[in-house]
Amino acid sequence: MTEGYEALSRGAAWIDLSSRGRIIARGRDRVRFLHNVTSNDVKRMNPGDTCYAFLLTPQGRIQADLHLICFDDHFLIDTEPELREKARAQILKYKVADQIELEDVTETTASIGVEGPAAPDLRIVPGDAFTAPLTVTGQPGFRIYCAPAATAGLIPELERAGARPASADDARAIRIENGKPRYGEDIRETSLPQETQQMHAVSFQKGCYLGQEIVERIRARGHVNRLLERIELPGSEPVPVGAVVTVDGRQAEVTSSVVSPETGKVVALAYVRQSA
């Protein structure tokens, strides 16, 4: 068990998340436009609010996931590193005469995750930075956004307060143990929202949005043929991506897996076939 894993599971850890994509959305029509192209209720957001949302195709397939952070005069879009260009292109694809501008600020900003059971007690933020209640592992915590130069002073301060550095592998292990999916591993371009079980990304009270017809049709039908679930498997080695296993008599396709440093068990996320 590494120090970083232990800190994430029992204490507090800091994770460098500066590689994640960060895009600022400005313009008079930003609220209406983002409301129409994402799956969540952007119009209900007030400054300081955050929400998780999907970008869907007209056929309801998930092309990207993102977090929106609302400010008085703009939104900050936070997404996976691999989705930085794709999410921006997917949003602008539907722009016609809308007054909205997207500025990629990934290179001019930094992001540090503070996560673990003790993380909420470590409210250490530089004066010109801000925080949002987001985590990549599913543990309690928050994310700090600041200028890249500010991290040189921020990280030692976090460590003096008790946070320990955690690696991407540490964070991935905790994430899978918590059953938290990641786009690009567990959530795919072919995935439907209901299959992922991340329905906090979808509002059923908002008006029309891209992909809504399919999402509502599935809702009316009452089920999908497979669900993304956390499972435990026999053995002592991670299971290859795409492996088909049997769980309680049901067929499951593994999307990610890890040997838990805590229990030694193989924990995985998998799309599990559902009964009719």
- CATH numbers and ranges of domains, the chain: 3-174 (3.30.1360.120), 225-276 (no CATH)
In single-letter form, the type of residue at position 166 comes to A
In single-letter form, the type of residue at position 260 comes to S
Structure confidence at residue 157 (pLDDT): 93
pTM of the model: 0.94
Can you state the angle between helices 84-92 and 30-37, rounded to 10 degrees? 100
SS3 53: strand
Whether 2 contacts 261, CB under 8 Å: yes
- In the structure, how many helices (H) and strands (E) does the chain have? 7, 14
Structure confidence at residue 236 (pLDDT): 87
Structure confidence at residue 144 (pLDDT): 96
* Regions of the chain where pLDDT drops below 70: 276
Structure confidence at residue 70 (pLDDT): 98
Structure confidence at residue 39 (pLDDT): 97
Q: In whole angstroms, give the CA distance from residue 259 to residue 137.
A: 16
Structure confidence at residue 259 (pLDDT): 96
Q: Closest by alpha carbon to 38, among 211, 167, 170, 178?
A: 211
Distances (CA, A) of 35 to 32, 80, 209, 222: 5, 20, 7, 25
